[in-house]
Each structure stands twice: as structure tokens, then as C-alpha cells.
Structure 1
Amino acid sequence: MDKPSPPFDPKDFRRALGMFATGVTIVTTCSDDGTQVGVTANSFNSVSLDPPMVLWSLANNARSLPVFSTSQDWNVHILSNAQEALSNRFARSGEDKFAGLSLEKSISKAPLLPGCSARFQCRTAFQYEGGDHTIFVGEVLQYDSSSLPPLLYVKGGYALAAPMAGPVSTESQANLEGASYSENLLGYLFGRAHFQFVHGLRGTLQARQLSDTDFFVLSLLSVRQPLTTDEIAAHIAYTGVDLASGALQSMVQRGLLLEHVGDATQLRLSPAGSDAILHVLAAAKAVESDLVQRMGELESAGLRNLLKQAILATDPGLPKLWQAPVHF
């Protein structure tokens, strides 16, 4: 006689299911008395192309279930990567989720949110019992989509999607197997990407007779100033630049920085320094714009996200550069 299977551990089962990456949606509808209702859901899926049909599910203990069960019309919004806060808002209960939101015209009374990767305006075709959830199957009456990268959910957190990259320095991925030093080394990828990006600014730096150290300091002071010599050194310590060699004094002498001597010497941009960094940053934005156009918005968003993760994982404790404004 076969032994009965052990009962599922709900937390472990949820963790296992979380390995499957999904999109993030907000489903909205409107009650008979005009109350707008919306929930965050990642249970959305396609059902049929002809006729066009989609489905999603809602927990049987959800406070909004009675409204969705009786309302025939509902809209599914596939959220873009910039709508994480909106996802969190509609995942909470006990607040007016639509307060302050600009809505667009819908073919029904169901609210239609802007700024999404895609939207589907639906009418209920079937409802099914699905364990502790109710499954809604709807016919798509109208839809639209944009080029905005979608927001994903995997392993219990938000994520971004990006296509797999091909080889950059080898004829094929097979050539990388067993190699102790290959293009898959993060140091190689970071270094090459950095120098190829900076190559696009090099002409502007040379025309302005700016060294890499000048660029680091001017960029820093364009965000925060004035700063003391020690504060500047703390912010750019990761670059390996030795400011004790007279780099800052040289910039003062060349008219790029203004110096205020007090209890602690403070430095700020001079008009010439401000003009120089504006031209370099304009060149940097042009290089970035070209890169985004070549890579695509989806891949660029993923790249920013991964670079931030790498910086956080390797941060030696550098001071925060951008700070929240102080309100009095």
C-alpha cells in the first residue's frame, strides 16, 4: 500500500511557486453604487486568441470578491517597471486606492489607469471555483499596449526582465567553458563597459583639458557643494585618486574651483567649472541616450537595476551623494 504524501508546508509551497516569474497587474472594477475597486494580482494569464480571452483569480476571503463577482466589467493593467509604488498601493487594504490618480476613459465604468505596459478591458464570461480562489475568465473587448518595460514579480519581490545577451569577445558561448579568464568575468565586463562608455565623453574632456580626476571632482560638486577637501576625498575614495598630490589646488589655480578658507577649507564650482561640467554631462547624456536607443528601454531599465545591486553589494561605505531635501 502506498504511503500517503506528507502534507504541504504552506510557506515552502509558496516559496516554490515564487520561483515562477510573473507579471504584476492591477484589476479594477466598479460596484453598482459607483464605488471604484482595485486589487494587485499576479495570477493573470491568457486563455484564448480567438475569441480573445484572459483570466485571473482572487482569494475567496478578499473583501472585494463580492464586487468582482457581481460586476460584469473589469480592466486588467499590466504594470510598467515605474509603477512599483502603485502596485504596493493596490495591494494594501483600508485606504482610498484611487485618491489623487488621473484616470482615462474606459468603455465601461471600470477605472482605467494610465502609464501601464498594457491594458485589457474585459467582460466576465465565466467564473470558476479554484480551491481558495475564484477564477474569473473574461472576454477582451478592447486593449492597448506601450513600449514601457513591464514590472515582474519573482522569489517574493519585484524584478525586471531583460533578454539574454550574446557573446561580446568570443565566437560562441561554447568557447567559454572551462576558461579561468573569460568574458563572463564580472571584472572584465564592468571594466570594458565603463571604458567604452567613457570613450564617448573623451573628446569633450580633452577639448576642455579635463583629466579624469577633474571630471570626478566637478561631477561631485555639481551635485553637492560646498564640500571640504576631506568630504571630497571621502566621496571619490573608490576611484583611487590621491587628492594629496595637489589635484584640488591645481583645479583652483586653473579657475575651475573657488576656495573659501575658514575653520575648514571649502570648495565650490567656479563659473568656469560649472560651464565645463555642464558640457561634459551633456556629452554623457548623449552617450546614454544613444546606448538606451541601441539596447532598448527594457534592457536599459534592467541594466540600471543590476548596476545598483552590484554597487550595494560592493559598497565600502561611501557617503550618500544624493540626499533628500530638508523641509522646515
Structure 2
Amino acid sequence: MGASDGIKGIDAREFRNALGAFTTGVTIVTTRDAAGHDVGLTVNSFNSVSLEPPLVLWSLARSSGSLASFVEAEFFAVHILGARQEALSNRFAKRGVDKFAGIDLARGHGGVPLLDGCAARFECRTAYRHEGGDHEIFVVEVLTFEHFDAAPLVFQKGGYAVAVKKPPVKPVAEDADAAPEGSISRDALIYLLGCAHAMLLSKIRPALRVRHLDDDDYFVLNVLSAGAPRSLAEIDALMAYGGRSVKSERIEALARRALVQRSAQANDASPRIAISDAGRQVMLEMAAISKAAEEDALQQIDYSETHLLRNLLKRLIRNTAQGVPALWPAKAERAADAALPASR
């Protein structure tokens, strides 16, 4: 509690922070006002009330400019957003914008706008309303609903998150496959990451062989594709990400094949090496092949788990790459991270 002198002394900010420990889904509630205008807003105060009859509730701040439209409306649609719909959630959380602009809408009961791409959607009719402090609580009867195969978007501690199912844990006595004492655990990150890396790399090696490239060639070209021209020493340092090293002979061989090019200064003791147009074309082809292998490997893993996996691996790399130069400029990496749903 934010204060010690009883209920009247509760600190509003600390109270909000404490409530943020409870993870909720994110919804968009839509209706149509008396003038026939579409109205919608982002809401995370949504809960089930009853199965028989089917009732749900949501609440809206009494200070909301949309309150009158929802109070007067008979029908609503509650959309439980999918993990890929953060941008849509942000749009409907804003004021003073045309939230429905450019959206292909279906229509439900009472002409209420229906949004696509969500995890679930409920068409509802008002059962009753209740004043709940600074919010109006709407209890609504579910008339019809649809459930889609999409991971939900969730909200926790003031930010978006993804929901990932936790696998059941077997009692130790039932685990017949437990590793023998003294061996490396099958849950050890070194073992798991090594296996995953080896399996994924094996899927693209046939394409590398067709292009007369080996694993080290591929790593060199990857390093050069990620940024500006680099010296041999810089490339060698960055090869640590793949547990590899590079010698000048390999760069010479790639240069003879016109896959890389070096700076033209004759007296340059440390020439800069860059990927050539031909090398970039090869890596574009390999990127498509690698993406296909990745999608195949992830086919039994849903979006939320994939997103979380990527972000956790990035953190793991940052935490362990002590003394290894950054592969991507920090600004570019922040921009790439910002384009994805937050993993907080």
C-alpha cells in the first residue's frame, strides 16, 4: 500500500501499480451512436460474469467523451485482441482521430462495427449498468460470439505483453528420461541452443553447397550484410557470435569470387572489406531459404511463443557477449525492437 494511514491515505499511483501486477487481456469495444456514427475504444476492464445466462462486463471511465454514446446504445461488440493487434489497440486508445479510417468492417446486431483479426469477438446487448466509483460498469448479455485461433494480446504493469502457455511439469518420479547423474541436463541452455543451432543450420547447408559456400563463408557474408565495411580484425571479432574465426585467406577467396570487395587504397594497412552487389544477392537468396527453414521449424509454435523466444535470445546474447563488438548499431537495434510487441 502506498500509505500507512488507512484507506483514505491510499496513493493513487501506487494503487495503479499494484493493480498492474494482475495481467489482463486487451479488448476494443465498439457500438453505433444515435446519429449512426461508429464509436470504439480500447478497454482492458473486461470480465466474464455468468455462463447461464451468458453475461460479461466491462467498464468505462465516467470522464470519457464516449460515455454518452455507450450509455445510449443497446448493442455492443467486444473484441478480444490478438497478439499482433497492438497497433490497433493504440489507435483505439487515442482521442480525436478517425479510429475506423481504412478498416474493412463487418456489421453486427444494430449495425455495430465488427473488427477482424481478433482472438475472440462477442456481440452483446445491454443488460444493466452500475455506477462503480469513477467508472460506469456495463453488464451485457452475449447474443453471439466467435472464437479464432489467435494468441491474445495482454497487458501487464503498464505495458503490452504476450501470453505463453506454460508446459505441465511432471513429478520427478514420473520422469523416466531424466539425465543420469553427472551428465549435462537436457534442460541446459548450452545443450538446447547448440541443438537448435545445429538443426537449423543443417536445413540451409544444401543451399550453401549449391552456391559453393561453407558455414564460415556464410557467417562472414552475414556479418558484412549487417552493417558498414569492416576490417579483417573487426570481422574476426564479430565471428565470435558464431563461435568461429576468419583468416585473410578466406577473404581473398571470397574477393576472387566477387562476393566481397576491399578498399582500393594501396597503402592501407587495414583495408576495409564490404559485401559486394553479387554477395548481397546471394545473401538475399539465402535469407529467403533461411526464412523458410525458420517457418518450418516454428510451425508448432504460436506467435506469442515465437515473439518471446526472439526477445529472450536477444537478451541472452547481450548478457553473454562481453567484450564482443555489437553486430548491429544500437540505434538500428532499438528501432527493430520497437517495431515488435513489447515483451514486458
Q: Is the shorter-chain TM-score for this pair beyond 0.5, marking a shared fold?
A: yes
Matched-pair contact (CA < 8 Å) for 1:258–1:269: yes
DSSP-derived class of the 1:294 partner: coil
DSSP-derived class of the 1:201 partner: helix
Matched-pair contact (CA < 8 Å) for 1:53–1:139: yes
Across the two proteins, how many residue pairs are aligned to each other? 317
Where does structure 2 lack aligned partners over 5 or more consecutive residues? Answer: 266-270, 336-344
Which of residues 247, 252, 263 in structure 1 aligns to 2:250? 247
- Return closer, same or farther for 1:42/1:274 CA change in 2, 3 Å cut-off: same
DSSP-derived class of the 1:147 partner: coil
How far apart are residue 151 of structure 1 and its match? Answer: 0.8
- Return closer, same or farther for 1:111/1:190 CA change in 2, 3 Å cut-off: same
Which of residues 209, 216, 222 in structure 2 aligns to 1:213? 216
Which of residues 277, 298, 301 in structure 2 aligns to 1:295? 301
**In 2, Cα distance between equivalents of 1:290 and 1:79:** 26
Residue 51 (str. 1) matches residue 53 (str. 2): yes
**In 1, Cα distance between equivalents of 2:175 and 2:168:** 8
**In 1, Cα distance between equivalents of 2:175 and 2:18:** 33
Range with greater deviation from structure 2 (68-77 or 101-110): 101-110
What residue is the counterpart of 1:19 in the other structure?
Answer: 21
DSSP-derived class of the 2:99 partner: coil
Range with greater deviation from structure 2 (31-40 or 102-111): 102-111
- Return closer, same or farther for 1:23/1:34 CA change in 2, 3 Å cut-off: same
Q: Which amino acid aligns with 1:144?
A: E
DSSP-derived class of the 1:62 partner: coil
Matched-pair contact (CA < 8 Å) for 1:167–1:173: no
Which of residues 201, 206, 231 in structure 2 aligns to 1:198? 201
How far apart are residue 187 of structure 1 and its match? Answer: 3.6
Matched-pair contact (CA < 8 Å) for 1:40–1:91: yes
Which of residues 125, 137, 144 in structure 1 aligns to 2:127? 125
User: Once the two structures are aligned, what percentage of the paired residues are identical?
Assistant: 43
**In 2, Cα distance between equivalents of 1:10 and 1:156:** 14
Range with greater deviation from structure 2 (178-187 or 210-219): 178-187
- Return closer, same or farther for 1:108/1:179 CA change in 2, 3 Å cut-off: farther
What residue is the counterpart of 2:142 in the other structure?
Answer: 140
How far apart are residue 233 of structure 1 and its match? Answer: 5.9
Q: Which amino acid aligns with 2:213?
A: L
- Return closer, same or farther for 1:167/1:221 CA change in 2, 3 Å cut-off: farther
How far apart are residue 124 of structure 1 and its match? Answer: 0.8
Q: Which amino acid aligns with 1:89?
A: R
**In 1, Cα distance between equivalents of 2:314 and 2:182:** 28
Matched-pair contact (CA < 8 Å) for 1:29–1:71: yes
TM superposition score normalised by structure 2: 0.76
Matched-pair contact (CA < 8 Å) for 1:81–1:160: yes
How far apart are residue 159 of structure 1 and its match? Answer: 0.9
Q: 1:1-328 alignment to 2 at 5 Å?
A: 5=6, 7-165=9-167, 172=175, 182-220=185-223, 227-229=229-231, 236=239, 238-253=241-256, 255=257, 257-259=259-261, 261-263=263-265, 265=272, 267-269=274-276, 271=278, 273=279, 276-277=282-283, 280-311=286-317, 317-320=326-329
What residue is the counterpart of 2:342 in the other structure?
Answer: none
Where does structure 1 lack aligned partners over 5 or more consecutive residues? Answer: none
Q: Give the root-mean-square deviation of aligned CA atoms.
A: 3.6
**In 2, Cα distance between equivalents of 1:20 and 1:142:** 28
- Return closer, same or farther for 1:146/1:259 CA change in 2, 3 Å cut-off: same
